[in-house]
Amino acid sequence: MHYGRGDGQVRAVDGLSLQVAPGTVTAILGPNGAGKTTTIETCEGFRRPQSGQVRVLGLDPVGDAEELRPRVGVMLQSGGAWLGVRAGEMLRHMASLYAHPMPVEPLVERLGMTSFARTTYRRLSGGQKQRLSLAMAIVGRPELVFLDEPTAGLDPQSRRATWDLVDELRRHGVTTVLTTHYMDEAQQLSDFVHIIDAGRVIASGTPTELVADGAQNTIRLRTRAGLDTDSLAKELPAGATVAEPEPGHYVLTTGVDPAVLHRLTGWCAAHDVLVDSVLVEHQTLEDRFLELTGRELR
């Protein structure tokens, strides 16, 4: 998927391939400009890929748009409402376009929109616009929703409320595809994560798998200075390294499981080493991302 022609051409999505299982939450995670919006908007039928194939619910997002529109809910990254429309009025209008919409009042309450339901869109705060946009995506009772950065710019409470809603949608059997550049969001919220960068998927899997696929974890050990680090490294699984960046402060890089910790403490007992502290640092999705792309997310 590219934009423009000739020299100015931007290849925004490049041979990207992914699948989404029904009833799950899938996160598309990537830095700004990675191609998240382009990917999701291609699935929504806003643009036609120049090559490759997209199927949504088994249908062509452009050719079968009429059949898909009632079944798919869309939250744009920004905009999507008249400046002069009131929040509640916009939501009621959206509801009137569907056959079996959610009742608007309970939805307004559920998303904490009551206080600004009569405020015009131009006077809503960024977070209030996000909440309206989310409500607009689900009011028609879709079976599949696409949310483009649903929590960007939200305060922690509203973020949590959005997560709860996505979780509840999953429990009701709705499939969700969302984009985010927040690691914790992808890790907590989604069943599957696709990390994309420069228009390509660079890693896919459940959050746990992605982290477990990663390199080694770190154990920080504090005790007396001058231990025989080679001897300790030999006790650990192959590939483990032991360093003493400061006297009495050791950094062990190794896969960690209960047996490894047992061997570590066993070696300490055998060498009469009293440990002051041992800290196991598990890798997060963020570490994994940095490892894969070599760059900061935000």
Partner 1 sequence: MTSLDLSPAPGAASRARRLRAQTAMELRLTVRNGEQMVVTFVIPLLLLIVGSRSDRFIDSDRPLDVLAPGVLGLAIVSTSFTSLAIATAFERRYGVLKRLGATPLSRSGLLGGKVGAVAILQVAQFAVLGGLAVALGWRPEEPVAGVVWLLVLGLLGTIAFGGLGLLLAGTLRAEATLALANLIYVLLLVGGGLLLPLDRHPEAARGLVTLLPSGALGEGLREAFATGSPGTFVVVVLAVWAVVAAAAAGRWFRWE
Give the footprint of partner 1 on this chain (CB under 8 A).
44-46, 65-66, 69-72, 74, 76, 78-85, 93-94, 96-100, 102-103, 106-107, 109-110, 136, 138, 140-143, 168-169, 172-174
Cβ atoms of 107 and 101 closer than 8 Å:
no
Q: Which is nearer to Mg ion, 217 or 293 (CB)?
A: 293
Among the candidate windows 31-39, 115-123, 191-199, 216-224, which touches Mg ion by CB under 5 A?
31-39
Residue 54 in tokens? 């997209």
Considering the complex, what minimum distance in angstroms separates the CB of residue 142 from partner 1?
6
Applying CB under 5 A, which of residues 1, 12, 27, 37 lies at the interface with Mg ion?
37
In degrees and rounded to multiples of 5, residue 260 shows phi and psi of -65, -40
Q: What are 176's strand-pairing partners?
A: 25, 145
Q: Which among 205, 158, 152, 202 is positioned nearest to 181, based on CA atoms?
A: 152
Q: Which option in Mg ion, partner 1, ligand ADP, none does residue 34 bind, with CB closer than 5 to 8 A by kind?
A: ligand ADP
Applying CB under 6 A, which of residues 26, 38, 42, 162 lies at the interface with ligand ADP?
38
Q: Which is nearer to ligand ADP, 40 or 113 (CB)?
A: 40
Q: Which option in ligand ADP, partner 1, Mg ion, none does residue 100 bind, with CB closer than 5 to 8 A by kind?
A: partner 1
Q: Which is nearer to ligand ADP, 111 or 145 (CB)?
A: 145
Among the candidate windows 29-37, 78-86, 121-129, 161-169, which touches ligand ADP by CB under 6 A?
29-37
Applying CB under 6 A, which of residues 16, 27, 29, 30 lies at the interface with ligand ADP?
30
In degrees and rounded to multiples of 5, residue 146 shows phi and psi of -110, 120
Considering the complex, what minimum distance in angstroms separates the CB of residue 100 from ligand ADP?
32
Residue 165 in tokens? 């809603």
Nearest-angstrom CA–CA distance, 47 and 130: 23
Nearest-angstrom CA–CA distance, 91 and 81: 10
Q: Should residue 180 be labelled a site residue for Mg ion when binding is judged by CB under 5 A? A: no
In this structure, the number of other CB atoms found within 10 A of the CB of residue 85 comes to 15
Q: Which option in Mg ion, partner 1, ligand ADP, none does residue 32 bind, with CB closer than 5 to 8 A by kind?
A: ligand ADP
Cβ atoms of 96 and 128 closer than 8 Å:
no
Amino acid (one-letter) located at 53: Q
Q: Should residue 180 be labelled a site residue for ligand ADP when binding is judged by CB under 6 A? A: no
Amino acid (one-letter) located at 286: E
DSSP code, position 102: P
Cβ atoms of 236 and 264 closer than 8 Å:
yes
Q: Should residue 36 be labelled a site residue for ligand ADP when binding is judged by CB under 6 A? A: yes
Q: What is the DSSP string of 73-97?
A: EEE-SS--S-TTSBHHHHHHHHHTT
Q: Which residues bind Mg ion (CB under 5 A)?
A: 36-37, 77
Q: Which residues bind ligand ADP (CB under 6 A)?
A: 3-4, 10, 12, 30, 32-38
